[in-house]
Amino acid sequence: MATTTASLTLSSSDLTGDALALTTTTNLSKAGVTTGLDQFTGVARKTFATAVTDENLIASADYTNSRAHKLYIKNTSTNPSEYFTVEVGSTNVVLGRLYAGDFMFVPYDGSNDIDIDASAAGMTIEFAVFYEA
């Protein structure tokens, strides 16, 4: 059984009147059981020569619906004005923007494509999916 642990730490000394220090950790498990996710796409990168719109990043056809997949996406840009817009489904519902250095790690049920828009030419996106077959 594979064991993959995800951790997130959020800290700030000046966001609120008190110091912020949140840390959480979880093991990535298959849906409804404690068995660990045992499939991984590997970390991949795509670089876009031009700004793109509705570019398919993750195809739902590659994953079984209603499972406990996890999705990682990162904007590798260092230019603070460059961003990727992350979109879900055939109607491209906007989930949000990833600006330079931003990343997301979210659950993914495999029922919708994940598309992106790049705000500029030459941008690189990094991504991976932890999934169950």
Residues 113 and 108: their CA atoms lie apart, in Å, by: 10
- Looking at the predicted structure, is the pLDDT value of residue 1 above 80? no
- Percent of the chain at pLDDT > 90 equals 91
Residues 4 and 48: their CA atoms lie apart, in Å, by: 30
pTM of the model: 0.94
Read off φ and ψ for residue 46, nearest 5 degrees: -130, 135
pLDDT in tens, 59-86: 999 999 999 999 999 999 999 999 999 9
Please check whether residue 56 lies inside any domain of the structure.
yes
Question: With 0-12 CB in 10 A as exposed, 13-18 as middle and 19+ as buried, what is 55?
Answer: middle
- Looking at the predicted structure, is the pLDDT value of residue 133 above 80? yes
> 101 or 1: which carries more pLDDT confidence?
101
Give the pairing type, strands 123-131 and 69-75: antiparallel
Domain with residue 115: its CATH number is: 2.60.120.10
Number of domains, the chain: 1
Domain region containing 56: 37-131
